[in-house]
Amino acid sequence: RNVLPTTNPSRGLFLFLLFNLAIAMSKFATTSLRNIRFTKSNDPPIHASHRGGGMDFGKENTMQTYRRAIIEAETQILEVDLHLTKDRVILLNHDPSLSNGMNIRRSTFEEIRKAELAANGNQLHLVAPTLMEVLDEFVDHQDLVYFFDMKSIDAVQPAIDVILERNLASRIIFGAVDPNVNEEVLPLAHSLEIPVAADFSTMQNLYMQFLTNQLDPSKIQHDILGFIADPVMMSFLQPKILETFHQAGKWIAVFGAETNTKDGIENLMKFG
């Protein structure tokens, strides 16, 4: 697949490098994400769109960018950020507050939608959508996998309820940057055999354990381990740690500046 480049590294396309010769042995390989073909190390990576594909696709986390990511880029994974409104509607937006300053958690969905439509010329495709709106919009895309980045601990159980209601467990990845939210997600997701991506704090700890020869791969609870692929990180990241994670049956997610160019992507693939 073509990976569409973006000029904004922090908002660019995720590039998931799921290169693991032993992935077929993973407990999730046959029960979860069954629509993704897990590949050997010499095959193309899996493509995912972070916040709908970045600013080059339009206003991030809107139906506009989601449509372009799915239809134009043919993305395999759509990463969305989940918050819960005051009246318990799951809204997709990266930050806890909207661009107009409204705090999602302290506002009702009706208040948010009314204000956003007024600010965007009544163009529905430019406002923060609800999770249900997105699921309805792409209901025919049965091969699409969703990465739920949980921004609010309050949204965890409602998200689980939607997954069960719509029978989506085989098409979901969970993640959360906040370690407290991630800790809440982990057992609930694993009870449904949904893979979970590690938070930044966990990745720091794993890397320090590796450097000090204290890493026990069998004790890693998360299923997907992520790296920010920027020049600084790549300057001291060791291929051996990727090999260790692969051998433990873990998937590797890579995002950042190095995934935004053809040369960067090729270098990452060579790196492992």
Q: Using one digit for the tens of pLDDT, what is the confidence trace for 138-164?
A: 999 999 999 999 999 999 999 999 999
How confident is the model at residue 2, as a pLDDT?
Answer: 37
Distance (Å, rounded) from C-alpha 3 to C-alpha 126?
24
Burial of 24 (0-12, 13-18, 19+ CB in 10 A): exposed
Q: Is the pLDDT of residue 29 over 50?
A: no
* Percent with pLDDT over 90 in the chain: 61
Burial of 121 (0-12, 13-18, 19+ CB in 10 A): exposed
Q: Is the pLDDT of residue 223 over 50?
A: yes
Torsion of CA 232, 234, 240, 241, to 10 degrees: 60
Quick: pLDDT tens for 176-222. 999 999 999 999 999 999 999 999 999 999 999 999 999 999 999 99
Distance (Å, rounded) from C-alpha 110 to C-alpha 185?
28
Quick: pLDDT tens for 97-151. 998 999 999 999 999 999 999 999 999 999 999 999 999 999 999 999 999 999 9
**Phi, psi angles (nearest 5°) of residue 41:** -65, -15
Mean pLDDT of 237-249: 87
How confident is the model at residue 55, as a pLDDT?
Answer: 66
Residue type, 182: N
Quick: pLDDT tens for 30-80. 334 544 544 444 556 788 898 887 767 788 899 999 999 999 989 999 999
The angle that helices 156-166 and 179-191 make with each other, rounded to 10 degrees, is 30
**Phi, psi angles (nearest 5°) of residue 252:** -110, 125
Q: How far is CA 127 from the centre of its chain?
A: 20
Burial of 224 (0-12, 13-18, 19+ CB in 10 A): buried
Q: Is the pLDDT of residue 237 over 70?
A: yes
How confident is the model at residue 235, as a pLDDT?
Answer: 73
Mean pLDDT of 74-89: 96
Q: Is the pLDDT of residue 268 over 90?
A: no
Eight-state DSSP code of residue 53: T
What pTM was estimated for this model as a whole? 0.85
Q: Comparing 129 with 28, which gets the higher pLDDT?
A: 129
